[in-house]
Amino acid sequence: MPGRWLRRQLRLVPALLVPTARAVGWAAPLAGFALSLGLLALAVRPGLELPAGRLVLWLRLAMTAGALGCAFLLDDPSEPTTEGVAGSLLLRRTLRVTLLLPATAAWWVGVVWRVRAVHPGLPLPVAALTLEAAALLAVTVALAAAGSRLAPERRGGVVAAPALLALTSAAFLLPARVALYAEPGGAAWDGAHRRWALLGGLALATFAILAIGIYPELLAHFPPLSTLAGP
């Protein structure tokens, strides 16, 4: 049954590509990417020497700025009226994310290129930082999927964007044993990136669960809040 369902969904992809591309609000993600690159261009420029730790900090701030725009990727006021059309909610949301991947890849290449162009001799842990960026984007779309259940008209970005800012701000304050933002070459570096990989995987699983619709069924196993509050 799962294999049959998956094949049926994949056959719908060509028919849904163009309508999905038209429905996506491109302005917010592209503005986030542009803001991120502009911020990095101001901070990392020729003639301004930055230590490796400060440079990585600016890269992480650029990641956050880029991810903020993606918090609005799933915004779709028409979603309640299209739930009965061909293609599952998971498929339609996955297509939205997939359509943004080329622009996301171009943005990240631009971020890395800027740093390498200004500081060509500085060893930059590109693979580890790419993992951070990918996991942060996965967390962003998971927050957007959760926010669409809370915000009016399924505009999950108004929930996801402040939640993302709060989470990234809190991540900078975590103690070393559970740190996500570690200094390059430090003792916590490898452990931090194992946590990033785990966080990204959990975020993607959450995104899928919310789209499939398991979340309301899970809530049904818990008593209503009114009964927990007592008489």
CB 215 within 8 A of CB 148: no
Sign for the pseudo-dihedral over CA of 74, 127, 184, 32: negative
Q: Phi and psi at residue 67, in whole multiples of 5°?
A: -65, -30
Task: Specify the length of the chain in residues.
Answer: 231
Query: For residue 91, how far is the Cα from the chain centroid?
Result: 17
Distance between CA atoms of residues 26 and 33, nearest Å: 11
| CA separation, residue 156 to residues 81, 153, 214 (Å) | 16, 8, 18
CA neighbor of 209 nearest in space, from 34, 119, 88, 44: 88
User: Is it the case that residue 35 has pLDDT exceeding 80?
Assistant: yes
pLDDT tens digits along 199-212: 999 999 999 888 77
pLDDT of res. 166: 95
User: Hey, what are 68's tokens?
Assistant: 């903020």
CA neighbor of 63 nearest in space, from 170, 181, 175: 181
Distance between CA atoms of residues 36 and 40, nearest Å: 6
| CA separation, residue 103 to residues 11, 72, 97, 160 (Å) | 25, 15, 11, 20
Sign for the pseudo-dihedral over CA of 99, 105, 106, 108: positive
Distance between CA atoms of residues 144 and 30, nearest Å: 16
Contacts of 220 (CB under 8 A, 6+ apart): none
pLDDT tens digits along 153-186: 678 889 999 999 999 999 999 988 899 999 888 8
- Section 53-57 average pLDDT: 88
Of residues 85 and 31, more confidence is placed in 31
pLDDT tens digits along 110-121: 999 999 888 888
Sign for the pseudo-dihedral over CA of 63, 65, 66, 72: positive
pLDDT of res. 218: 42
Distance between CA atoms of residues 149 and 171, nearest Å: 25
